[in-house]
Amino acid sequence: MSSAQPITLHPARPAQPQAGSDVTPAIPGHRVELQLLTTLKCNLKCTYCSLGVGEVLGSQTHVDYSLDQLENFVATHLGGYETYVTFYGGEPTLNTQYMQEVIARFPNFRYQLQTNGTLLDGLPDALLARMSNYLISIDGGETTTDGYRGRGIYRQVMKNLATVRPKIAGSATARVTWSHPEISFEELDHLTEIFDYLYFQFVADRGAYPAEGMAKRRAILAQMIDKFFRHTDRLYPIIPIMGMVRNKVMPSRAQELYQGKSQCRASTHILNVMPDGRIFPCPDLLYLPEMQQGSVVDNWLRASPLQADPAMPCSSCEAFAFCRGNCMKNLYLAYVKKDEDYRREVVEPICELVRFMGEEIDRHNPQEWFARASLPVRKQITDCEVYEYVEIMP
Ligand code: SF4
Ligand code: SF4
């Protein structure tokens, strides 16, 4: 069954629920992620950067709201929620002071850093020790990464990770945008040996999914999934596969943290706070005024406007039970904004790959594998903390 609801798109400031009222809260559930964009500047120029759309990248270079305003916002709207923070950008480590100030102000929050990794070695030890997870952007092996990010970046990131490893208690997750069809199984597989987890997402670029490129991606996905099911006593730590397997063996987990909506949290409980204090549900749609969900400066918050819509095809899709609408931004642009080229060249190929992954996983009988898996592996499949920090689906 679909959970599709009509989308509401009016950025006007809504009335806030009063204490004791039965008005639906802006954030459903009990958990909220504050994704604080410390700056929109970046020290790299990755060719596919999604902040390049709408000229968001570089447009705000320092945080304009005060910590008192942030605290006031949290007290007004997020009281009683388990709150965790992801520092995001631009490149968040360009504003280390702000990160330190936030941590000092909210010492009981959980923290994650999403970074390109190039400045990690310069962070103070106390800050490094505080992160529950590092999401480190990398594109694959050295040639691929340097091709997108600049010469020497792969080695620099690897060196930095090795330097900070003894100082960090949290996990390190490779965050890969799977950009071009020539990226090999071996280079992705190698990342699982260096990082604790690998999370990948299919690039949202037109022209990235020609027929032969789709065939290559399918072959690599099949290889990954085959390797995933080879062992029951050790985990092959690739988040989208882990998440899909979880959703198949324990369907309730596919719903409970996201109220049955998209697992990327954009429809429920992630608040992207721009340096100027405006709040949006998806970091890739900061350029659309109708997507504004709130403001730290003006202290208001409404439910995410980025919701499933009857125009989206998910309710009749065989993958819905484990996919749950993958990327709401993609679906919104393709089916609500009706960008036909984007639908044909980006969204439909990605959906095809998601369905393919589901079929490949089914071929390996995930229920039977889960029944034989060791307790630590089962625990990781059901409860891996990194699920809370990434979109889960590719
Ligand atoms: S594969 Fe595509 S159409 Fe199917 S549920 Fe996922 S996002 Fe929706
Ligand atoms: S997966 Fe979610 S957060 Fe990521 S781009 Fe899509 S809608 Fe935005």
Contact 39, 89 (CB under 8 A): yes
What is the token pair recorded at 283?
Answer: 């970091």
Distance from the first to the final alpha carbon of the chain: 22
Give nearest CA residue, ligand 1 atom 8: 314
Q: Which helix (H) or strand (E) holds 198?
A: strand 197-202
What is the token pair recorded at 15?
Answer: 């009335």
pLDDT band at 306 (very low <50, low <70, confident <90, very high): very high
Give nearest CA residue, ligand 1 atom 3: 314
Minimum mean pLDDT range among 14-23, 172-181, 214-223: 14-23
pLDDT, average across residues 292-302: 98
Q: How far is CA 177 from CA 99, 140, 170, 199, 369, in A?
A: 25, 9, 22, 9, 29
Residues 6 or more apart whose Cβ sits within 8 Å of residue 47 = 148
Kindly state if the Cβ of 373 falls inside 6 Å of ligand 2. no
Pocket test for ligand 2, best of 175, 329, 336 (most atoms within 8 A of CB): 329
* Model confidence pLDDT, tens digit, residues 317-358: 999 999 999 999 999 999 999 999 999 999 999 999 999 999
User: How many C-beta neighbours within 10 Å does residue 270 have?
Assistant: 26
pLDDT band at 13 (very low <50, low <70, confident <90, very high): very low
Q: Does position 174 have pLDDT exceeding 80, yes or no? A: yes
Domain annotation for the chain: domains and CATH numbers: 31-306+365-388 (3.20.20.70)
pLDDT of residue 1: 37
Kindly state if the Cβ of 354 falls inside 6 Å of ligand 1. yes
Asked if residue 90 has a cis previous peptide bond (ω within 30° of 0), the answer is yes
Q: Does position 212 have pLDDT exceeding 80, yes or no? A: yes
- Taking the CA of residue 318 as reference, the ligand 1 atom at the shortest distance is 4
Distance from the CA of 330 to the center of ligand 2, in angstroms?
8
Separate counts of helices (H) and strands (E) for the chain:
15, 10
- Taking the CA of residue 320 as reference, the ligand 1 atom at the shortest distance is 5
Give nearest CA residue, ligand 2 atom 3: 282
What is the C-alpha separation between 48 and 148, in angstroms, rounded? 8
pTM of the model: 0.91
From 258, 227, 255, 233, select the one nearest 361 (Cα to Cα): 227
pLDDT, average across residues 80-90: 95
